[in-house]
């Protein structure tokens, strides 16, 4: 299976999840707007979701995948299964203890960590505590699921792990649709969504567990012991968790800061959902596929192939994210209006969320590049260096957020996130170059400015089109008119960008496909990839 096909496999599942996520957010916006229930739900959900990405996805994609892949090559599937069972026993025990401890501490956590700004509003504070207690076990389900997803990725079975997150949105859409049908009030909707999150965690864990069993690598429970393999994983996992989840660390801190203004938490969450589409489809797909591929190339001593994998991945991500960033920056308001402005979501809320989204658009290439740069460290079992850079990024983010929030509110927090993202990306790239882990690629260096120019020209064309078509894009126009007009602008912009990119030599899809075409050369103990 070529690298492009692997990217497409992961991206397709992520794309489906993000599209359904849009549907979920549209229904939530109509039902809750940016009111107190929306603030409480988003703040409560951010907590287990942040822990999931810190100690599950970040840690295991960065630390578990290379070690599990090494066990496959050294000791076959049986050896890798034994290692996975050792890890599972420790992980399950730690997660169970952590869940019980944090459930009992939830009132204090909400008051001092999750939402300190809600302490003065007893109703919102109590609601946030209750919703967080209901949803926190989601962390345990998703952490165990992330470990099994790492096993599947190492076995070249990407589809089940990519499709499992879809069910969170499917279940929450079902909850919102049923609540709308029954005419439920906002508070009832909030609690129903919290129980839906917990149910989704159980379903997603079941999906990847079945997929691992079908892959011939099913695992059982072992008494938790700190074996040498587990110790090595823990040494790598802690800094990897911090590094891989740096965006989530910043979001958690920014959520706490944003609780100082009514509606700010919900506004940031709605904007985040939109820009997560290109970030998830491109950035996360590249990161998931690139890490095991890069680890395999380095273990075989093929530095040339490793360098080519990194360069082509960056070229691929920039080719898709630069135009997305330009589009989000110049047409954020009609996008937000189309997706959210109905029911309890007002035109004033549209303007606020659009400003945040435009800033996130400028940060999008940085967040995607971080995803592409991190495997260059993790594949070499270096999780300490990215952790240091992540720490610098957090300091930049918190300092700017605290400085700008009193003056710019939500847009100040978004600006802090954007600057921190670019600082992190620059530090990671600079260190890869300095260590000689990033091979100089003249075609890549000449194509990036051309791709950037094509994206800028496309952005200018979109700006003029949005201004010219302001009436059909306005809130007074019917929904179908807004959707048709926006779709026409997007289609025309895509056509213009591709013409400019290929005509200028910024893109050469034939070269990219040839460079990234790579088939598995693993031994007979390794299961075949998904069809």
190-227 b/e (C-beta count within 10 Å ≥ 16 → b): bbbbbebbbbbbeebbebbbebbeebebebeebebeeb
Instruction: Give the residue ranges of DSSP H helices in 121-185.
Output: 122-135, 138-154, 159-163, 166-182
Please name the helix (run of DSSP H) or strand (run of DSSP E) that holds residue 489, with its range, or none. Answer: helix 479-503
Higher pLDDT, 264 or 437: 264
Which of 303, 293, 265 has the alpha carbon at shortest distance from 40? 265
| Size (the chain), residues | 531
Q: What is the pLDDT of residue 522?
A: 38
Which of 325, 328, 366 has the alpha carbon at shortest distance from 451? 325
- Residue 215: both structure tokens together: 């892959």
Is there a contact between 512 and 461 (Cβ–Cβ < 8 Å)?
Answer: no
Q: What is the mean pLDDT of residues 396-401?
A: 92
Average pLDDT, the chain: 80
Question: pLDDT for 41-50, tens place per residue?
Answer: 988 887 777 6
Max CA pair span of the chain: 67
Higher pLDDT, 59 or 203: 203
pTM: 0.67
Q: What is the mean pLDDT of residues 415-422?
A: 92
* Angle between helical axes of 228-244 and 384-408 (0-180°, round to 10): 30
Residue 60 is classified by DSSP as: I
Is there a contact between 24 and 277 (Cβ–Cβ < 8 Å)?
Answer: no
Domain regions of the chain by residue span: 36-262
Q: What is the pLDDT of residue 330?
A: 93
Higher pLDDT, 218 or 84: 84
3-state helix/strand/coil string of 399-449: HHHHHHHHHHCHHHHHHHHHHHHHHHHHHHHHHHHHCCCCCCCHHHHHHHH
As a whole number of angstroms, the distance between CA 199 and CA 110 comes to 23
**What is the number of other CB atoms lying within 10 angstroms of the CB of residue 530?**
17
Residue 35 is classified by DSSP as: S
User: What share of residues in the chain are helix, strand, coil (percent, to 5)?
Assistant: 85, 0, 15
As a whole number of angstroms, the distance between CA 18 and CA 368 comes to 16
Question: pLDDT for 466-492, tens place per residue?
Answer: 999 988 888 888 888 988 999 999 999
509-518 b/e (C-beta count within 10 Å ≥ 16 → b): eeebeebbeb
- Residue 261: both structure tokens together: 């203004």
* Region of poorest pLDDT, from 65-74, 91-100, 360-369: 65-74
Is there a contact between 208 and 148 (Cβ–Cβ < 8 Å)?
Answer: yes
By CB neighbour count within 10 A (0-12 exposed, 13-18 middle, 19+ buried), where does 48 fall?
buried
Question: pLDDT for 3-30, tens place per residue?
Answer: 555 555 555 656 676 678 778 877 887 7
Question: pLDDT for 229-252, tens place per residue?
Answer: 888 877 777 676 666 556 566 667
Q: What is the mean pLDDT of residues 306-319?
A: 75
């Amino acid at each position: 299976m070529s690298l492009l096909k692997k990217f497409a496999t992961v991206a397709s599942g992520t794309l489906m999840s993000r599209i359904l996520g849009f549907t979920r957010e549209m229904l939530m916006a109509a039902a809750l707007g940016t009111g107190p229930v929306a603030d409480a739900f988003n703040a409560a959900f951010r907590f287990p979701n942040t822990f999931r990405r810190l100690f599950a996805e970040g840690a295991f994609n960065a630390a578990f995948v290379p070690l599990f892949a090494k066990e496959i090559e050294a000791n076959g599937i049986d050896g890798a299964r034994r290692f996975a069972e050792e890890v599972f026993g420790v992980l399950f025990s730690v997660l169970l203890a952590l869940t019980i401890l944090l459930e009992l501490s939830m009132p204090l956590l909400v008051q001092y960590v999750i939402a300190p700004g809600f302490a003065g509003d007893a109703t919102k504070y109590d609601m946030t505590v209750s919703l967080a207690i209901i949803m926190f076990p989601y962390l345990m389900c998703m952490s165990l699921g992330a470990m099994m997803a790492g096993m599947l990725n190492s076995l070249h079975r990407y589809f089940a792990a990519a499709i499992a997150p879809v069910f969170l949105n499917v279940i929450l859409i079902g909850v919102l649709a049923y609540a709308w049908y029954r005419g439920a009030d906002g508070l009832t909707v909030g609690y129903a969504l919290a129980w839906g999150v917990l149910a989704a965690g159980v379903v997603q864990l079941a999906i990847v567990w079945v997929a691992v069993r079908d892959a011939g690598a099913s695992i059982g429970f072992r008494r938790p012991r700190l074996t040498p393999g587990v110790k090595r994983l823990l040494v790598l996992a802690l800094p990897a968790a911090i590094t891989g989840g740096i965006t989530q660390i910043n979001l958690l801190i920014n959520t706490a800061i944003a609780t100082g203004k009514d509606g700010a938490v919900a506004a940031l969450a709605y904007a985040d959902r939109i820009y997560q589409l290109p970030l998830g489809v491109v950035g996360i797909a590249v990161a998931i596929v690139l890490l095991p591929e890069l680890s395999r190339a380095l273990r075989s001593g093929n530095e040339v192939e490793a360098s080519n994998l990194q360069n082509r991945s960056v070229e691929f991500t920039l080719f898709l994210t630069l135009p997305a960033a330009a589009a989000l920056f110049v047409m954020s308001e009609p996008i937000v209006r189309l997706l959210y402005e109905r029911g309890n979501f007002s035109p004033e809320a549209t303007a606020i969320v659009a400003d945040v989204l435009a800033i996130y658009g400028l940060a999008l290439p940085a967040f995607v590049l971080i995803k592409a740069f991190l495997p260059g460290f993790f594949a070499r079992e270096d999780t300490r260096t990215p952790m240091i850079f992540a720490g610098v990024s957090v300091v930049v983010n918190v300092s700017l957020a605290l400085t700008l929030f009193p003056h710019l509110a939500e847009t100040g927090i978004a600006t802090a996130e954007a600057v921190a993202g670019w600082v992190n990306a620059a530090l990671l790239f600079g260190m890869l170059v300095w260590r000689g882990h990033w091979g100089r690629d003249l075609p890549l260096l000449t194509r990036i400015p051309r791709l950037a120019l094509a994206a800028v020209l496309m952005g200018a064309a979109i700006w003029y089109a949005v201004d010219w078509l302001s009436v059909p894009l306005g809130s007074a126009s019917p929904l179908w008119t807004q959707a048709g007009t926006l779709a026409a602008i997007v289609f025309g912009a895509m056509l213009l960008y591709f013409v400019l990119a290929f005509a200028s030599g910024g893109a050469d899809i034939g070269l990219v496909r040839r460079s990234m075409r790579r088939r598995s050369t693993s031994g007979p103990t390794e299961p075949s990839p998904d069809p």
